[in-house]
Structure 1
Amino acid sequence: MTEQSLLSPPAPPETRRRPALILAIILTCQLMLILDATVMNVALPPIQAELGFSRTGLSWVMNAYSLVFGGFLLLGGRAGDLFGRRRMFVIGTSVFTVASLAGGLATSAELLIVARIAQGVGAAMAGPSTLALIATTFTEPKARMRALALFSAMASGGFAIGLILGGLLTQWFTWRAVLFINVPFGAAIALLAPKFVPEPERRRAHLDLPGAITGTAGVASLVYGFIRAAQEGWGDALTIVALAAGLTLIATFLTIERRARQPLMPLRLFADRNRAAAYANFFFGPMAMMSMFFFLTQFLQDVSHFSALATGFAFLPMAAVLFTVTRLVSRLLPKLGPKKMAAAGTAAMVVGLTWLTQLTPESHYATGMLAPMILMGFGAGFAFSPLNILIMGTVPAEDAGAAGGVLQTLQQGGATLGLAILVTVFGEATRGIGGGPETILVTGMTTAFIASALIAACTFAVAMTFRASDRP
């Protein structure tokens, strides 16, 4: 990767006046969107108790957001190219903010799911523009690398920070506060962005609606099929139909993208070996990690009897390690290269998840969970933080919106599909077994961690395909 490849047209004059404020606005939005993928985890037990979700149906509180967010990100990226990235950034943030308010006021499971879907729509509109605005605003190579490294810290650290924040708000107030907290920050972003964030030059584009419909419907069908399998078993006819339809729609989506004049997911983005590997790991990594967040929050509260606040703080060591590592990425990546960093990080993830398969109802946090969490924090920081730089550092300006959309689509899609698969594994492992609720939960989650470790092993295999000689 050469320095020249990182250069883009000169930044507008206003970006040189307040670059720190511009970056703060963009990163705050990104953090808010990522937080909502995990901030609800700690609040799941009180949500289940108040609104009457089933154990497997509870995953829809997470999946309703991640599914729509991931499913419409490609369309949101192309819409930014067509209607203006700053405009989509502001509109998306506004939709997300209003939906957060509605979710906090929800009085039934159905209303909460609808609000989470609306949050996902807003996030899909704003999300691709965060990366695209960084790529087009910070054009000097070192400044762009620093900005992308900070973006990586927000994107990766946000998952763990969401658990801590969710614990604080749930304990001090109510689970509804984890949604209300978005309102002041979202409103501030929507008001400040039009004044300070520059609007990049708009390029001619059109919306690939067939691609958007088939891609989103395909992922939704797969997720629904896996979750239904957890509830009804693999012999259920609707489960089989949903999975078959999902695979067919995904194949149709790829065919459409290969032939479209302006595809939502330009396949040329995968032509570079390192960028293709980075995209693959952005899919497998969240797929492996989401099980840890989803199941450990329930284990800590339902088995170890931690409060919501204590559960949130239980993830603090992991968040601290992850954030520290991501701060070092811009210095380490030029020296070590992506292959060594990704291999070390993914190996740590495999070890951490394998360790968690040994949990029992008698396991203690200090001896059974702390070390695996630290390994996961180190692993996520090393394995995934450099990937934003690898993907966005060389992408042409005209593909910035699409490249950012693909990146976040794979990240959210992996998290959503992974959680659906692992909930299915949980359901199959606990079907018909005896014992109390604690025994059932631990049996199911440790089996799910075995599956997560296997998925993490896939990220290690992909990491070994990076070119060892490349340096940003």
Structure 2
Amino acid sequence: MGTRAWALLFVLCGTIFLEGIDVAMMAVAIPTIRSDLGLSTGTAAWVMSGYVLGYAGFTLLGGRAADLLGRRRMFLLWLTVFLVFSGLGGFATEGWMLVVARFVTGVSAAFMTPAALSLITTSYAEGPQRNKALLVFAGTAAGGFSLGLVIGGLLTQLGWRWVFFAPVLLAGALLVPAVRLIPRQETPQQETVEQGASRQETAQQAPPSKTRRGFDLPGALTAAGAMLLAAYTVVRLEHGPHGWPLTAVSGAAALLLAAAFVAVERRSPDPLVRLGILRSGALVRADLGALLFVGAFFGFQFVVTLYMQELRGWSSLQTAIALVIMGCDMVLAPTLTPKLVARYGNARVIVAGFALAVVAYGLFLPVGMDWSYAAMFPTLIISGTAFALAYGPLTIAATDGVAEEEQGLAGGLLNTATQFGSAIGISAVTAVYGLASTGSGPEATLSAFRTALWVPVVMVVLGLSISALTLRADRQASAVSSVSASQTSANPAQRSGGMASRK
């Protein structure tokens, strides 16, 4: 890739880095924020959950909006909204102000991230170039979260408001070059960045297409409502049996709205989501795999953080430094993973990533009261390596073969899956931990941690099974292609032999 291509990729990856580092810093800073503002436990929880609700509730709409309203427009607009509301959060003096700021920041990420992903899939040529760009994008996402833990710990020492102001500075640093690097007009046949600035200027001068699609407002409303209620239901899982009646009601309402959404989309002349895209087995398996893998990763990280801080008494900064090795995928994803994908294919690399994750989380199941960091290190580095192998190829598989005009939708589906995955992973381990906490004292707490650690293990085992189905489907497709190719190559010889005999 040339200089302009790398510069554009740097900006687009910067947004997913921004999103990851923002979430991680908030996770580290929330105890200090709660203490300083005198927030209740419920309000502090909503500061964290508000972002998840905004992100998960609108990411599907955000992905489709990028296709219909313009990827560049959506990217720049919502990056600006992210910047503004992150800054407003830094000036908050009441809990409700923080909740509103985090919710709107989550909504802006729901529009910004699918736009960035679809800009990559439509700006880089399909094949090795696009694959490398997506692997760098995926590695940057997890790297941002891991580095955010350390940076959040450092900034919290200076003052928790810097956790809000730091993303403002980073977003501003990305916004300025983004205005220049992202093409102003996207044509149906958008050219790759490698074709040069001169062709982009020519494309910008071309008259806009007269074909305009309508916006599916009923579909948008029912989709956002269903996603919001589903995300709320997942977040409520951590409240345990006492909150299950309300959890069940919100879950049922989410299902009803989802059914209404499907009915609307079937009748709409310009649906928000073309339901036929869900008939792609490869896309659905990739999204499910991403949901399970990300959910297990964040669920495991959440349990380990509690173990280090609550049971071992480590500070937030000590915990962050201990976990930073999990960010090794930031180095491995753009260097090792592209070579493995080129040699073995997406499906095999994804299976290897899931298999490593099973090993990593399984090694931590017998965690002891006085485990040294050396005993934890194998799990931490193997889990980071697993992320490098699985997440990037899953991103490729979730967007591969999708028409250009639906790349935003594909990105929205993938981001919806990953956000629900992270919410499910954290909520599930929290719920299991609460149910397993039947006694008091360090030994009872350790036993509850061990029980909760089974959640990420089960999730990656399920993901490994789904990935194995994809590998099997790829092998069958390759076998069919080989047979067809051999028959095609044999037919001309048979015909020439027949002509020679007749002569």
TM-score (norm 2): 0.82
Q: Does 1:378 align with 2:382?
A: no
Q: Please state if 1:193 is matched with 2:200.
A: no
Letter of the structure 1 residue corresponding to residue 19 of structure 2: L
Q: Which residue does the alignment assign to 1:355? A: 363
Pair 1:59–1:419, CA change in 2 (3 A) = farther
Conservation of the 8 A alpha-carbon contact between 1:321 and 1:377: yes
**Residues 23-38 of structure 1: pairs in structure 2 closer than 5 A:** 23-38=9-24
Q: Cα RMSD between the aligned structures?
A: 2.7
C-alpha displacement at 1:388, in angstroms?
1.9
Is the counterpart of residue 246 in structure 1 residue 249 in structure 2? no
Any idea what the Cα deviations from partners look like across 1:212-263, whole Å, max 9, x if unmatched? 3333333433443454454362575323212222233333334444444333
Aligned residue pairs, count: 452
2:394 to 380, 387, 401: 387
Q: Does 1:92 align with 2:97?
A: no
Query: 1 CA distance for matches of 2:257 and 2:449?
Result: 30
Greater fraction of residues in helix: 2
Contact 1:42 / 1:311 at 8 angstroms: preserved in 2? no
Residues 78 and 207, structure 1, Cα contact 8 Å, conserved in 2: no
Contact 1:326–1:385 (CA<8 Å) still a contact in 2?
no
Q: How many Å separate the matches in 2 of 1:156 and 1:93? A: 19
Of the three residues 216, 223, 228, the one matched with 1:215 is 223
Q: Distance in 1 between matches of 2:306 and 2:37?
A: 17
Pick closer, same or farther for the CA change 1:357–1:175 going to 2, 3 Å.
farther
* 1:158 alignment partner in structure 2: 144
- The reply to whether residue 435 of structure 1 matches residue 440 of structure 2 is yes
- 1:285 is matched with 293
**Aligned pairs for 1:390-405 within 5 A:** 390-405=397-412
Which residue in the other structure is 2:464 paired with?
A: 460
Deviations 1:386-423 (A, max 9, x none): 12222334221111111111111111122123323332
Q: Distance in 2 between matches of 1:338 and 1:44?
A: 38
Match of 1:174 in 2: 159
CA distance in 1, matches of 2:446, 2:30: 17
Gaps of 5+ in 2: 189-210, 479-503
Q: 1:394 to 1:75 in 2, by over 3 A?
A: same
Q: 5+ unaligned residues in a row in structure 1: which ranges?
A: 1-14
The C-alpha deviation readout for 1:141-189, integer Å capped at 9, x for no partner, is 4332221221121123333232233233224x23332221111121222
Code of the aligned partner of 1:434? G
Seen in structure 2, the aligned counterparts of structure 1 residues 322 and 204 have a Cα distance that, compared at 3 Å, is same
- Cα displacement (A) at 1:424: 2.3
Other structure's SS at 1:357 match: coil
- Shifted more, 268-277 versus 378-387: the winner is 268-277
Aligned mate of 1:409, from 393, 413, 416: 416
Question: Deviations 1:423-462 (Å, cap 9, x if unpaired)?
Answer: 22233223xx3324x5565444433221221112111111
TM-score (norm 1): 0.87
Could you tell me which residue of structure 2 aligns to residue 450 of structure 1?
Answer: 454
Give the CA deviation at 1:273: 2.9
Shift of 1:281: 0.9
Aligned residues of 2:58 and 2:227 also touching (Cα < 8 A): no
**Which residue of structure 2 lines up, in the alignment, with residue 80 of structure 1?**
66
1: CA distance, partners of 2:82 / 2:413: 20
- Aligned pairs (5 A) from 1:111-122: 111-122=97-108
Report what 2:203 is aligned to: none
Greater relative contact order: 1 or 2 (C-alpha under 8 angstroms, separation 6 or more)?
1
Secondary structure of the 1:395 match is coil
Q: Distance in 2 between matches of 1:277 and 1:152?
A: 18
Query: What is the aligned partner in structure 2 of residue 316 from structure 1?
Result: 324
CA distance in structure 1 between the aligned counterparts of 2:187 and 2:345, rounded to whole angstroms? 33
CA contact (8 A) 2:429 2:455 kept: yes
Identity of aligned residues (%): 33
| Alignment match, 1:143 | 129
Structure 1: distance between partners of 2:65 and 2:304: 37
Q: CA deviation at 1:305?
A: 2.5
SS at match of 1:207: coil
